[in-house]
Structure formats: C-alpha cells, structure tokens
A and B are shown apart, each in its own frame.
Chain A
Amino acid sequence: MASAPENEKNASAPEKKTLTLKSMINNEEFVVDEHVALQSVTIKNMVDSDCAGDVIPVPTISGEILALVIEYCKNHANPSASEDDLKKADAGIVAKDIYTLIDLVLAANFLDIKGLLEVTSQKIADSIKDLPHQDVREIFGVENDYTPEEEAAVRAEHDWAFEGFP
C-alpha cells in the first residue's frame, strides 16, 4: 500500500480508519480502530489480501470474549503504555474463571494474537496445576478411556506426584 504524501494526508483531514468485528454467536458488533484490530494476524491477513469487508464476521467467538480480546488489543496498541501497565492490564483481563479462559485462549488462537495466547495459556496452566486430574478431566470434557487397572498402573508409575491428591 503506497502511503499518501504528507501534505495530501493533512488536507483530507485524517479520519481514523475503523473496522467492525461481528460475533457470529450473538451478532454483537464492535467498532474498533484498524490499528487495534490489526494486532490479530488473522484479521491483518484478511485486510492485506483485501478480503475484509466493512464488517468482519468472527465465527465461534461470543461477544463477551470478543470484548476481552479487543480490550487486550487496545491496551497493547497504546504506544505510551509501560511494560508494568501492560502486565497489570493483562492480569486483569485473565482474572476470569477457567471456562472463560478456555474460550479466550481459543479466540486468541483463532485470531492469532500471540501475546494474548501466551498470557491466557499461562493463566490456565496456573489454574489447573494444583487440581486433581479428575477435575481437569471434567473441565476439559475428556472421556476417561482407561480401565481402572490401567489407571492405577499409570498412577503407580509416579505415585509421589499424587501425594495429597484423591
């Protein structure tokens, strides 16, 4: 994209370009500055290859999660934010229950926002690290395909790691 000469830019009274993101789950729409939305590599690729219309539909992400994603992008698009500020803001965004966090990590993965993916993954890891494996199994909706004997054998391999766990 060729940038316009400086004087021409001033003449046309620079209007900030915006994009509209629309959650396809509950049809909620969010108008965001383009440079904020472009932190998502997925959206950037769409814009760069001219496949983005005025409204960008975001499948499988709810409005509630999309709002969190946009909050993260806004914070990180602010050039005057210090590293400390960003850390605090990130911690606020991921201070959610485990199910919201998993939705958020899926969204960060789909939209390809590396920083958000990392900070959310870390928070999920921190939340499950002291949980019994039965609880983790339930949260992640994993079917237990071990027979009781097999499960006991796997557990016996590292019995010390289960100290204090059911």
Chain B
Amino acid sequence: MAIEQELPQDLLMEILSRLPVKSLLRLKSVSKYWFSLIQNPSFIHLHHNCSKKKDCLVVMRHRNDCDGNLILSSVPDKTPTHDLFESFEGLNLKDVNLIASSNGLFFLAHFYKPKFVICNPATKEFRILPDPFHHARHTSHLGFVFDPNTKDYKVVRVATLYESDLTPYDAYDSPYVASDKDLLQEIPIDEKVHRYDLSTDCWRKVDAGVPKYLPSVSSYHFRNSLNGVFYWLYPCDYPMIIGFRVLDELFEEMPMLDISWLDCFPCTLCTMNDSLALVVQMCRIEPAEEFFDFWEKKEEDMSSSNWLLKGLDNLCSGTLKF
C-alpha cells in the first residue's frame, strides 16, 4: 500500500529533517530524488537546526596510551565509551590534534605537517584537505568556521614564511619541518593567510593583515566560532580576544574581560546560547576547592567589553560548547 498523493518537497523535508543521520544515509537509497534531497545543503542546514534543539553531544578528547592516537568519545551519559573515530577507516590519527568543531564537524590538524582533515562523526565521512600552497609550510595559526551566509565550512590558516621556506623541496613529505629551536634562530619573513572552502575543496590566498601575538597553533586552546566569526584567546600577557570574520576576511580585536586578577587563572573561550563566553577556572585555598566562573559576552559588538557574570544555576538551561 502506498499513499495516494506525493508529498510536496517542503513537507518531505520537514519529516526527513527529524530523522537521525543513520536513517537518512539508508534513505538515500530510496530514489535519486530522495538522494539529492538528503544531500542538498539547505536540507542539511535544516536537519542540523532541528537536531540542535534535541541533542547535545559532549565530546571528550584524550589520547590512547598505547599508540598515542587521538580519541574523541561521546559522553551522553558521562561515561566515555564510544570512540567517535572508531570507524573512520583509513584515517591515521597519529600525531593529529583536534583544532576546532563547528556546526557538527571536526577539524583536525597534523602536529607538524601541513596536513588537515575535516570529519563528520555522524556520517563517518572525512575529507583530507589538499595540500596548501607549496611554500609557507609552517602553519602558525588555524581556525575552522561554518559560514552561515554561504552555508559552507571554511578553514583559515596563517602561515609563517621563513627564509628556509624559499629553498624548494621536492616532495611534501620530505623532512622540511624545522624544529622550533631551528625556527627560533630563523627570522620570519612574512605571514600569509590562506582560506580553504569545503564546497570547492581548494585553498586560496586571502589578503588580510595578520595581527600580532596570535596564539601558537600548537596551543591546546580550542578554537570557537559563532555566526561566521571564529575566535582565539590571546596569550595572557596581551589580554585580547581576536576574531576573524569570513564574510569580509578581516581580523578584529576585542577587549578581554577587564579584571586585574584574571591573568592568574586559566581561561577558556567557549560559546554558550549563541553568544561568546569565557570560562575562568579558579581555585580557593581555604577551603581548598576549584570552581568556575562563567562570563557571557552581552553583545556581538566587538569593540565593547561588556561581560556578564553568569552563575552556574543559569547554565543548566543552556548548551555550552568548548
């Protein structure tokens, strides 16, 4: 038995957008039309918005003691059981670091080679990015962002050029990577910004002035993005937050929460309820305990430093993303 009239497209999308990803991957086999509907970026966007309301996935990052591989596990019930990368066949997770997540995708980078991977834990798909431009092999900064305007994912990479980069190498895998010590003795010549778009699968140069004091790529600080801007926290001695807007490809600086004692405590930038937030990890000596302060940025306006202290009670209803 079948229904008498065909469902209009918007109605079919409304229904399909409520299905789990696993079911959708199977339903691609229904027909060519269903396949194109499920693959369609605007459907994917609709689906993501729908699931955002329902599910919140907490992801823990740790390393396997035996082989040093990166393990990301989902923590639906606070027990880290399910390795998100278990079935990413052929993806070598040795020497890679999780740089950021945006809108459901993860962005990983090799520690010292310009090798990058974007992966989707829901569909178990991953894409190894093409090699970036041949010179400027030393990645100094990275960001990953979902651009709501184009509904596309972008990687922004700042590369530092050293004199030795100007000497040509034959192959990418040649041992060109200088150690940090070597680089310290070298003088950086220039910094270049490159952007990768997932939709076109290629890199292109971006004409943007790079601000000073960007945190190093090796820093474990997780990058955050919100509404097409991604943010870094500046190092402690320069209390600023830096944003890169993909729309007009501009770096912008934002004053950090202005509290004199702040540099004594580790801070993490995160997004909370669609605004930027700062988590300050504090401790008390007497009685000895650790606690967190959450500061939420009130406006999107970069220039203002209007932060609001949120109690933990206020957080229960919100979703917090690191």
Q: Is the CB of A154 within 8 A of B29?
A: yes
Check A5 for interface membership: any CB of B closer than 8 A.
no
Q: Which of B12-20, B103-111, B233-241, B301-309 lies on the face that meets chain A? A: B12-20
Residues of A within 8 A of B28 (CB): 154, 157-158
Stretch touching chain B among A73-81, A82-90, A120-128: A120-128
Measured CA separation A122–B14 after assembly (Å): 9
- Chain B contacts for A154, CB-based, 8 A: 28-29, 35
Question: Could you mark each residue 101-138 of chain A with 1 if its beta carbon is under 8 Å from any beta carbon of chain B, else 0?
Answer: 01101100100000001000110111011101100111
B199 contact set on A, CB distance < 8 A: none
Interface residues on chain B, number (Cβ under 8 Å): 32
Give CA–CA (A138, B12) in the complex, Å.
Answer: 15
Q: Which residues of A contact B7 (CB under 8 A)?
A: 102, 105-106, 140
What's the nearest-Cβ distance from chain A to residue B40, in Å?
A: 15
Main secondary structure of the interface of A (DSSP, over half): helix
Q: Render A87-98 as a binary contact track against B, CB cut-off 8 A, 1 for contact.
A: 000000000000
B124 within 8 A of A: yes
- Complex: chain A residue closest to B87, CB-CB: A160
Which residues of the partner chain A approach B32 to less than 8 Å between Cβ atoms? 145-146
Is B212 on the interface with A (CB-CB < 8 A)? Answer: no
Contact across chains for A133 and B124 when beta carbons are under 8 A apart: no
Taking a contact as CB atoms closer than 8 A, the residue among A106, A128, A129, A155 that contacts B29 in the complex is A155
B189 within 8 A of A: no
**Bound Cα distance from A105 to B7, whole angstroms:** 9
Cβ contact within 8 Å between B25 and A158: yes
The listed residue (A121, A136, A161) touching B22 by CB distance below 8 A is A161
Beyond A105-B11, A106-B7, A109-B11, whether A137 also contacts B30 by CB under 8 A is yes
Contact residues in A for B31 (Cβ distance below 8 Å): 137, 142-146
| Chain A residues within an 8 Å CB radius of B27 | 133, 136
Number of A positions contacting B (CB below 8 A): 38
From B15, B20, B30, A142 is in contact (CB under 8 Å) with: B30
Asked if A141 contacts B6 (CB within 8 A), the reply is yes
Q: Does B26 contact A (CB under 8 A)?
A: yes
Q: Bound complex: CA of A137 vs CA of B33, how far in Å? A: 12
| Given A143-B31, A154-B28: A109 and B123 interface contact (C-beta under 8 Å) | no
Once the chains bind, are A121 and B29 in contact (CB under 8 Å)? no
Residues of chain A within 8 A of B4, CB atoms compared = 141
Tell me if A139 is interfacial: C-beta within 8 Å of chain B: yes
Is B8 among interface residues, defined by CB-CB distance under 8 A? yes
A161 and B25 contact, CB distance less than 8 A: yes
Question: In whole angstroms, what is the CA distance A151 to B35 when docked?
Answer: 11
A154 to B34, CA, bound (A): 12
The answer to whether A136 and B3 touch across the interface, beta carbons within 8 angstroms, is no
Instruction: Jot down 22 A-B pairs with beta carbons below 8 A, ordered by A.
Output: A60-B5, A99-B1, A99-B3, A102-B3, A103-B3, A105-B15, A106-B11, A117-B14, A121-B15, A125-B19, A129-B23, A138-B1, A139-B1, A139-B3, A140-B3, A140-B6, A140-B30, A141-B2, A142-B34, A144-B30, A145-B32, A160-B87
